[in-house]
Amino acid sequence: SMNILLELFVVTFKVLWAFVLAAAKWLVRPKEKSVAGQVCLITGAGSGLGRLFALEFARRRALLVLWDINTRSNEETAGMEAPPHSNLQVYTYTCDVGKRENVYLTAERVRKEVGEVSVLVNNAGVVSGHHLLECPDELIERTMMVNCHAHFWTTKAFLPKMLEMNHGHIVTVASSLGLFSTAGVEDYCASKFGAVGFHESLSHELKAAEKDGIKTTLVCPYLVDTGMFRGCR
């Protein structure tokens, strides 16, 4: 019973200490990470959040690698952040992240043409917009491939070098629907729950490997007004 009391004390102390640290960070803001000159890859950069991420990283002088399945909208994003005569470097690649081989081939091209990726933003996402019984099987598979499986392929492509250098950052853009669910978006919720689980497990793996130079960030936005959820109530 003495052991149980001791364990209870240790756990309580750790919980309270976590609150103290969180409060300290709230008061003394941590220094913002610099991404200037770092190779930053954003998937789904042709529209919505991906485009906004690209513009934000451009403002912070990152070297940008933009992936999207839609070549035209991807090029439009590149044009928005690198107007003529600006010395900002932006590389665009047409890639279907739902296809494993496509990811690995495009990743190889990036390594040859640009260099090693320091910041990987897994943002590409799709939503079928159908209730389960009305949703074609192909669309369900597509949702899982793009919103969940793609994170495995991109991470497998770029993490080895990050581990070697003990330097990098992996950002998972999931969704609030990856934390709690609602009716009528079964495939989307399942895929985002999968992305959250993948991210958290990966974070633990990096911590266990003592790779303190590789950071992870999980982003779970609410329904964002980028056209993806038009008609959602």
CA dist list (Å): 174 to 33, 146, 154, 169? 21, 12, 15, 16
Contact (Cβ atoms closer than 8 angstroms) between residue 180 and residue 222: no
Which residues lie across from 177 on neighbouring strands? none
CA angle 55, 121, 77 (to 5 degrees): 30
Query: Does the active-site annotation cover 188?
Result: yes
| Catalytic residue (one of 91, 93, 104, 188) | 188
What residue has token string 């052991």?
A: 3
- CA distances in angstroms from 136 to 64, 95, 141, 143, 158, listed in the order given: 36, 23, 9, 11, 33
Helix (H) or strand (E) run with residue 59 in it: helix 48-59
Closest CA to 192 of 208, 184, 180, 202: 180
Distances (CA, A) of 130 to 187, 229, 230: 9, 12, 13
Q: Residue 76 and residue 93: Cα distance in Å, rounded? A: 12
Alpha-carbon separation of residue 204 from 28, 33, 62, 158, 214 (angstroms): 26, 21, 27, 18, 12
- Would you please indicate which residues are annotated as catalytic (active-site) residues? 188
